[in-house]
Chains A and B, each alone.
Chain A
């Protein structure tokens, strides 16, 4: 399913193919004869389309363990992050203008904070330990009386490191600070029960869990003081929090993908763990290879490795036909070392040599074995070409 004749795809953290079962749900919603109508229309066709949206909302709410009224449909995780952070910061700006996040966040989060800094908000950037994990005590020590929002991602998109969002959220809840979680890499892969977790805002997207691109959601907890100011206006849909005609086929696809993810979560996780272990066992004896992020606290769908004395860009080309990433896909054209890996204490050269392998439901042991062989061969070849050179 995931391998054409000329590629081996190991970049499922960037995106996943749409599950055929999801396509089956979506396809009838586009053309005449299907539920293509505007779900805001009051006529029969509109009500049928709205029923599709409501069904999907129920499916996603079940996966997240939250109320249906707590979900806002968006165009994806980037929009969800923007709405959560900017919307919450503006809503609570009269109470204080201090915000907290980490430099290891996805740019969909960190760039929003950089923009808010220019608009007069003060941002504290917390660094993780060498394993990539943030100590809740450090967060607690950073919260001030004027702190209004903390944003920490659940699973890091480059390293797979899992943050203890329960403990971090508890710190925020105790101090009446809103807690936002970018969960683009974890929803549908790790169990979440938002109704009983100290999380106020959570961003997610469909295309990481075999749903379509172009649709995401933001969870906004139904509790006092938790609200987001809208970023766009016009139409009044979704209570005015995110107006605009709802993309019924995409939303229905997200719902179907969420339903499948929930049903198959445990078996998928075991599958990913076996692949992750197999790949790491196959390359860990190479001289100078290091795993980015501790094995204990890392999501098994992602394995990030760096290696000494190998130039990253050449490594990526030598690895073809493997489709892997040097960092986040959004960042892969940059020549700058990843700020995520720099925050883990990696040198510029080691950060630049990082390769992110990420696995999915369709990944096979044979593909992982191919990746092991290809990685070893590429490293050996590039080191051979550079033999004897003094830095």
Chain B
């Protein structure tokens, strides 16, 4: 039993958030702001394949780690996968304590919104805030 609220995985993702940043000309970008969470996602997509993902985040370590984990996992996958991204996957794999569920649901909303903006926005780089 440990009193450490952060798993080794969360610590690694938090410390090495290599996907934090911006894309020069993203295919899609979304931002969500709530009281204790601010999150932006940007994607470069080529022929339905996610070439590159970046995030910006203001929030707790679990949110930052979850955003980094998402970016690492979804590069190279079909953009359609964004539409079915679920918070439960992140909650279990990091893991994230139950009281942080609301923050991970913000990530879920942002990812799905990103997926929708890819489909509905033919204009690359259009901001969908």
Residue positions of A touching B, CB distance < 8 A:
309, 311, 313-314, 317-318, 335, 352, 382, 384-391
Contacts and interface: CB of A to CB of B under 8 A. Distances in A.
Contact of A311 (B11, B22, B59): B59
Given A385-B20, A388-B22, A311 B58 contact: yes
Residue picked from A313, A318, A390, most chain B C-beta under 10 Å: A313
B64 interface: yes
Contacts, number: 49
B38 A390 contact: yes
B80 interface: no
A391 B58 CA distance: 9
A385 B33 contact: no
Nearest to B34: A391
A391 B59 CA distance: 12
B86 interface: no
Interface residues of B, number: 20
Given A317-B14, A388-B22, 11 more contacts: A311-B36, A311-B59, A311-B60, A314-B14, A314-B60, A335-B99, A386-B56, A387-B56, A389-B38, A390-B31, A390-B33
Contact of A391 (B22, B38, B61): B38
Interface of B: 6, 11, 14, 17, 20, 22, 31, 33, 36, 38-40, 56-61, 64, 99
B66 to A, nearest CB: 12
9 contacts: A311-B59, A314-B61, A314-B64, A318-B14, A352-B36, A385-B57, A385-B58, A387-B22, A391-B38
A386 B61 contact: no
Contact of B38 (A335, A352, A384, A386): A386
A317 B99 CA distance: 18
B38 A385 contact: no
Nearest to B6: A317
B6 A388 contact: no
B60 A385 contact: no
Residue picked from A318, A385, A390, A391, most chain B C-beta under 10 Å: A385
Nearest to B22: A388
A317 B38 CA distance: 18
A382 B58 CA distance: 8
Nearest to B19: A385
B101 to A, nearest CB: 13
A119 B20 CA distance: 53
